[in-house]
Amino acid sequence: MERLEFLPFVEKQDRFAAGVFRQFLIQEEGDMVLIVTPTEEYKEWVYAYIKTRLKDYPKKVVVKSAQQDQVKDNINPRYTFENFVVGPSNQLAYKVCLEVAENPGRSFSPLFLYGSVGLGKTHLLHAIGNRAKTKGYRAMYSSINDFSEEMVKALKEGKIEKFREKYINVDILLLDDVQFLAGKERTQMELFRVFEKLQTFEKQIVLVSDRHPKDLKDVPDRLVSRFESGLLLEIGLDDETRISVIKKKLMEYGFSPEDSVVSYVAENTGYNVREIEGFIRTMKILGEVPKPVRRDQRSIETVVRYVAKNFKVDPELLRTDSKDRKVVSARQIAMYLCKTLLGSSYTEISRYFGKKDHTSALYAIKKVEEKRRTDRKFHHMLKFLEDGLRKHLS
């Protein structure tokens, strides 16, 4: 009804113009009219028209173009629920993500997914976004590093309000790599704000991290407790799912998933889908089944002996529970190099070093990865060991 107030006014003086205005979304509230045009060009035209021909109109007219309002949602159409392989270790996460995409903000907000590298966490985030968009929800994906960079830029340009608005103006916020919040105080503050707003409006938040919220470093308790306030789910990769993933990826790359090829890939890769994909891609590029990576007991021993020698510790100590600082460092680095140079699986590495399950190797390798990212001296030391070891292993 209200819409007619503006249009009849235009109609009275210019029927042609009224016909054009009818194509736009017109909202009247109190003494204000909002007109949303499909393009910037139309917006310019409306502005000019109002200035020249509607000077006498008694209400304030605000004109926006839908183009101007369009924000990049960063959702990758490649990652969907349809092409996600489901098995015992990820089916709960899969089901919950599907529910969240269909009914955001209802049952599981915030949803916090965590798990090791390359297990499909990012894939599920995008899948939520893609599905939610088909249902008409506004979803947005961002990694913490991008969120942080964008915030710094907005602060510099005096556009922080616009930045906040963008992240609050969604039905589903999908945030990746939450572990990178460590020590970023301003980013933590802004995220806290966004978080509180979205929670107040009962919007959906999905967070992904390589570790449990309690294991996040340098993140204040008030954020950690928010992260823990909804549903926490760990995502893994069990043997059965891993084999299904290998079969699916082989088919995607045009290989037939024969048992011999599947076990060839299984033997030469670890529990990381990105690594599995990389291995199959290499097979495709080479046009043949490549030579297995040398990863027998002997090569693990070579790595251990080499690292122990450099640290001037007895190699046997690396396979014990010794808590000596030097031994612990050498052990963690040897585990890391078994992973990166030999491609050994976490289970294999843990087993060799006499640990109960794969999480010991996982934890050690994560620690080295993190230190390598932040400590240049440490990075150079690893590089030196890698170069030396490559010669020994070839």
Ligand X SMILES: Nc1ncnc2c1ncn2[C@@H]1O[C@H](COP(=O)(O)OP(=O)(O)OP(=O)(O)O)[C@@H](O)[C@H]1O
Residue in 274, 294, 373, 390 binding ligand X, rule: CB under 6 A: 274
Alpha-carbon distance of 96 to 92, in angstroms, equals 6
Residue in 43, 121, 247, 355 binding ligand X, rule: CB under 6 A: 121
CB-nearer residue toward ligand X: 83 or 107: 83
* Closest separation in Å from C-beta 306 to ligand X: 27
Contact region for ligand X (CB under 6 A) — 120-128, 223-231, 341-349, 361-369?
120-128
Site string for ligand X, 187-226 (x = CB under 6 A): -----------------------x----------------
Whether the CB-CB separation of 248 and 127 falls below 8 Å is answered with no
Please give the structure tokens belonging to residue 216: 């996040």
Q: What are the distances in angstroms from CA 301 to CA 346, 363, 389?
A: 16, 20, 11
User: Which residues are within 8 A (CB) of 360 and not within 5 positions of it... i.e. 6 or more apart?
Assistant: 350, 353
* Closest separation in Å from C-beta 236 to ligand X: 10
Alpha-carbon distance of 341 to 299, in angstroms, equals 10
Q: Which of the residues 236 through 265 are near ligand X (CB under 6 A)?
A: 245
Cα 248 vs. chain centroid, distance in angstroms?
A: 22
Alpha helices by DSSP H, 312-357? 325-337, 346-352
Residue in 43, 123, 184, 295 binding ligand X, rule: CB under 6 A: 123
* Binding-site residue ranges for ATP: 118, 120-122
Helix 259-268 with 273-286: angle, nearest 10 deg: 120
* Closest separation in Å from C-beta 119 to ligand X: 4
Whether the CB-CB separation of 148 and 187 falls below 8 Å is answered with yes
CB-nearer residue toward ligand X: 210 or 348: 210
* Closest separation in Å from C-beta 146 to ligand X: 13
The strand pair at 60-65 and 111-114 is best described as unpaired
DSSP type of residue 136: T
Q: What are the distances in angstroms from CA 55 to CA 4, 41, 61, 101, 173?
A: 18, 21, 10, 46, 42
* Binding-site residue ranges: 118, 120-122
Contact region for ligand X (CB under 6 A) — 119-127, 290-298, 305-313, 331-339?
119-127
CB-nearer residue toward ligand X: 62 or 285: 285
* Closest separation in Å from C-beta 272 to ligand X: 8
Q: Does 117 bind ligand X (CB under 6 A)?
A: yes
CB-nearer residue toward ligand X: 63 or 273: 273
* Closest separation in Å from C-beta 33 to ligand X: 46
What are the b/e assignments for 145-174, b being 16+ CB within 10 Å?
eebbebbeebeeeeeeeebbebbbbbbbbb
Site string for ligand X, 38-77 (x = CB under 6 A): ----------------------------------------
* Closest separation in Å from C-beta 121 to ligand X: 3
Contact region for ligand X (CB under 6 A) — 37-45, 79-87, 324-332, 363-371?
79-87
Please give the structure tokens belonging to residue 208: 């992904």
The footprint of ligand X (CB under 6 A) covers 79, 84-85, 90, 117-123, 210, 245, 273-274, 277
